[in-house]
Amino acid sequence: MIYNTQQKRMPLPEYGRSIQNMVDHALTIQDRAERQRCANTIINIMGGLFPHLRDVPDFKHKLWDHLAIMSDFKLDIDYPYTVIQKDNLITKPDSVLYPKTRIRYRHYGRTIEVLIQKACEFPEGDEKLNLVAMIANHMRKDYQAWNKDGIDDRKIADDLYELSEGKLQLTTDIFRLMENRQVINRRPRQNTNTNQRRGHK
């Protein structure tokens, strides 16, 4: 028995050894017309392996690219598309630029700072109060994850004031909204299906 580990390494193993063998056979066909028919047949079989991708844009084009790759770009046929070039396979992707914005308090993260900036732009009213309460509760959770000793609401208030450049403060109304949100989050969820069954009895 010949194991896969003993055989030639496949460029695209997702197509399997049988498809690779077909491609290798196509390379041995001397007659160009026959070689072209063989390539077309291989493409149809490759497409049949992934029927859920047939509606994906450029799906056929990708199949021909894959055929070229599997033949190590040695299959001399008339490709219906301009296939990928061998040199492009080893092209390194562009470097990903990471944001260089300094995060003042890393335990809160950049998202909290962005939310605070957005909250500062909100007009005064219930919507702004609820948003600030939500932000402060998230700051509580982040602070607790960073400092296991406990939560200091005064520290949360001071940090919110600093991060908002003095535009946001934790008032009595906001503290009340924060507590209400925590009560709702702690309340156990009821099984809707169970309640519905009970209602039908």
Q: Is residue 63 predicted with pLDDT exceeding 70? A: yes
pLDDT at residue 91, rounded to an integer:
65
What digits encode the pLDDT tens for the residues 182-199?
A: 777 666 665 555 555 555
Task: Give the lowest-confidence range in 28-32, 33-37, 192-196.
Answer: 192-196
Sign of CA dihedral 65, 66, 72, 74: negative
| Mean predicted confidence (pLDDT) in 147-168 | 88
Give the per-residue pLDDT at 41.
96
Residue 112 CB: number of other CB atoms within 10 A? 21
| 92 vs 13, residue with greater confidence | 13
- Over the stretch 73-113, which tens digit does the pLDDT of each residue have? 999 999 999 998 888 777 666 777 766 778 888 888 889 99
* Mean pLDDT along residues 25-51: 94
Q: Is the pLDDT of residue 57 over 70?
A: yes
Mention every residue, 6+ apart, whose C-beta is less than 8 A from residue 96: none
How far apart (Å, rounded) are the C-alpha atoms in residues 180 and 94? 48
How far is 107 from 183, CA to CA, in rounded Å? 24
Digit-coded pLDDT (tens) for 103-131: 888 888 889 999 999 999 999 999 999 99
DSSP state string for the chain:
---GGGSPPPSSGGGHHHHHHHHHHHHH---HHHHHHHHHHHHHHHHHH-GGGTTSTTHHHHHHHHHHHHTTT---S--SS-PPPGGGGGPPPPPPPPP-PPPS-TTTHHHHHHHHHHHHHSPSSHHHHHHHHHHHHHHHHHHHHH-TT---HHHHHHHHHHHTTTS----HHHHHHHHHHHHHHHSPPP-HHHHHHHHH-
Mean pLDDT, rounded, for 131-154: 86
Give the whole-angstrom CA distance, residue 177 versus residue 15. Answer: 57
Whether the Cβ atoms of residue 37 and residue 25 lie closer than 8 Å to each other: no
Mean residue pLDDT across the chain: 85
pLDDT mean over 168-176: 89
Q: Which residues contact 109 (CB under 8 A, 6 or more apart)?
A: 103, 142
Domain boundaries, the chain: 10-86, 109-186
